[in-house]
Chain A
Amino acid sequence: MTTSNYATERETTEGKVFTVTGGDWDQVVSGTDPINDERIVVNMGPQHPSTHGVLRLILELEGETVREARSVVGYLHTGIEKNLEFRNWVQGSTFVTRMDYLSPLFNETAYALAVEKLLGITDDITERATTIRVLMMELNRISSHLVWLATTGMELGAINMMLYGFREREYILDIFETITGLRMNHAYVRPGGVAQDVPEDAIRKIRDFLVLLPKKLKEYEDLLSGQPIWIERTKNVAVLDVTGCLALGVTGPVLRSAGLAWDLRKTMPYCGYETYEFDVPTHTDGDVWGRYLVRLAEIRESLKLVEQAVDRLAKPGPVMVSDKKIAWPAQLAIGVDGMGNSLEHVAKIMGQSMESLIHHFKLVTEGFRVPPGQVYVGIESPRGELGVHAVSDGGTRPYRVHYREPSFVNLQALPAMAEGGLIADVIAGGASLDPVMGGCDR
């Protein structure tokens, strides 16, 4: 330094101080080592467009490499499980549907199956009600996977995919609206069956959709599967093998993309899934690319299931258990003043049968009683095993309901996927877990 006129440096207790008097920037820059000297802690979220809702990631970075990643959840905690304990069993379905807002029908069906198991009426659920549940769940699986494809596309730079995914999901939401009256938060699957039968024009819409979607899926594949950027961003990114998945409790498409064909619809069937014909797609790489392929293939399998379920719906039948101590007393009908209890029912309880009136009143105000005990029911949601642990003390309200939420459990795998990789791959890896914070935080 003494022989040149360039910047001089001096050691102080705060570190190296340069006196820059013009000249050689190379020398100035070489005095510090940004990669090894500086570990930066970056807060990603909770308000970040690519963290799927209010997920907060704390990343410790060296340059662009993630050294440590920790996820913080709870920003969307709404106390649904606590609230359930203050409503009767039927009202519960209006609460659970709001947990994982991308797969409401899975939440409802899992809850209904648990309550039915507690009541001991699992075998009394009518065939038509079960078929409608399967139909709705598989449509919901498609819409959930479409949103996954859309948001993941957006996060990895494929904005077109975002528009297309949400566009096609709109068809499914339209079908849901025709059947349940609502696009989301349906409260359609109730303990004992479903709220009402599937109307005729919904069947027509579903049939149209079954023709439309395969063409669109082809478009998505044309758009993404051969795309060099998409391949670069997904292949060998955020790898998690079967051992890692099982240790961290990861189920669903992420586990299947690692090679284990574990799908509760096949391995522990419920709702009569054993009578349907469908395959469980798997992949062996356990990376984001594999998860993308598995989810695309699952949409195709769900289309098969929807088609079979629609065919079965040709046979009419009741959609609620016959037990009048459990079934909601009135069917809805459209009158001159809008939707309400059917006029025949009103005429019966007001004019003919005092007993019916009492029954109606007790069931609606107080609800039915459920024998004491506890059950656990697991179903295969778009994100993995969705489990319901329901406890009854013999009363008209749930004593405790716990949701084993796949989003919550799967998010634990994020550090295992992200640490040691690049910060850009945190986005891809996190997206490939498909977390929905409404379900995660409940």
Chain B
Amino acid sequence: MTAPNDRNNDGGVPVPVTPAGASSTAPAEYPPASPAGRGMFGNQGTGDVSGYGGLVRQRKPIEEASRPYGGYFDEVRDALEEAYPQFGEAIEKVVVDRGELTLHVRPERIAEVCQVMRDDLALRFELCSSVSGVDYLGADERRLHVVYQLTSMTYRRLVRLEAAVPADDPHLPSVTAVYPTADWQERETYDMFGIVFDGHPNLTRILMPDDWEGHPQRKDYPLGGVPVEYKGAEIPPPDKRRSYQ
């Protein structure tokens, strides 16, 4: 309590030590009447009121596609197999779903695969459209997935590369040497998921503040907020406020 008093005494504008209303008996985070009583905020339930919403559906395992895949997918696979001798070792799975081709790549091979995808004349994926992450919490050991969307402007094709890493050792090589555009997108993925891209020139947070703790897009990171201090009073985050029922 010394700091506010000091401020009062140094000739500046006097600041009240306790905000008005702080003596009322109800604390700001008075317990809500029920978990459902938190309005629109928080992560309680599915919004289901029928009573059947608690039934959890089994997540269908992603099935490997069988040849022929259809469309240009077979050509892409053949070209990659020809240009990249370690194909069998590096590609874990090929998935065709909703008209999109996904190659699941071993994380340590991702930069090599991208290099071949970009440079081979039959592949020519010149543009790395997007790099982002998905956290499949509870699916298996390697829950953090990095997703690369590659675009071939020559052939007008799209391919998705996906690499999965475990949360306790989330390392994989950076593709910035192949696709410089991945720079900021890998930084964002690091920021949001805590995935470390080895070899990245400047892997720092990009959207969250530099001193932020935790990686907000992970599924075990709650939606909530931080308490905000305003004129001496602390406003709790939305999910901690008292509710009116």
Contacts and interface: CB of A to CB of B under 8 A. Distances in A.
A249 B128 CA distance: 7
Contacts of A79: 216, 223
Contacts of B134: 374, 391, 399-400, 402
Contacts of A81: 192, 217
A411 B181 CA distance: 10
B33 interface: no
B97 A393 contact: no
B135 A400 contact: yes
B130 A389 contact: yes
Nearest to A243: B126
A83 B216 CA distance: 11
A411 B151 CA distance: 20
A365 B51 CA distance: 13
A389 B49 CA distance: 30
Given A247-B179, A249-B128, A375-B98, A365 B149 contact: no
Interface in A215-234: none
Interface centre among A86, A262, A367, A441 (most CB of B within 10 A): A86
A82 B181 contact: no
A333 to B, nearest CB: 26
A372 B60 contact: yes
B98 A73 contact: no
A396 interface: yes
Contacts of B227: none
Given A73-B206, A88-B47, A366-B53, A249 B181 contact: yes
Contacts of A86: 42-43, 223
A373 B47 contact: no
Interface stretch (B14-22, B78-86, B153-161): B153-161
B208 A74 contact: yes
Contacts of A82: 216-217, 223
Interface string A241-252: 000001111110
Contacts of A391: 134
Contacts of A396: 46-48
Contacts of B132: 389, 402, 404
Contacts of B185: 404, 408-409
A118 B98 contact: yes
Contacts of B102: 374
A126 interface: no
A400 to B, nearest CB: 5
B66 interface: no
A365 B208 contact: no
Given A249-B179, A394-B57, A400-B135, A409 B223 contact: no
Interface in B30-75: 42-43, 46-50, 53, 57, 59-60
Interface in B109-128: 126-128
Contacts of A366: 46-50, 53
B48 A389 contact: no
A249 B129 contact: yes
A395 interface: yes
A246 B60 contact: no
Contacts of B53: 366
Contact of B180 (A88, A248, A260): A248
Contacts of B100: 374-376
A117 B97 CA distance: 11
A385 interface: yes
Interface string A356-390: 00000110011100001111101000000101010
B160 A376 contact: yes
B138 to A, nearest CB: 10
B87 interface: no
B117 to A, nearest CB: 14
Interface in B132-184: 132-135, 147, 149, 151, 153, 156, 158, 160, 179-184
A375 B149 CA distance: 10
A241 to B, nearest CB: 14
The 10 closest A-B pairs by CB, nearest first: A249-B181, A404-B130, A402-B132, A74-B207, A77-B207, A400-B134, A247-B180, A366-B48, A387-B130, A376-B149
Given A73-B207, A86-B43, A393-B59, 8 more contacts: A82-B216, A86-B223, A246-B153, A249-B181, A372-B59, A375-B98, A396-B48, A411-B184
28 contacts: A77-B208, A81-B217, A85-B223, A86-B223, A117-B98, A120-B98, A246-B126, A248-B181, A249-B128, A260-B153, A268-B158, A361-B49, A362-B50, A365-B47, A366-B46, A366-B49, A373-B97, A374-B97, A374-B160, A375-B98, A378-B129, A378-B158, A387-B130, A389-B130, A394-B57, A394-B60, A404-B130, A412-B181
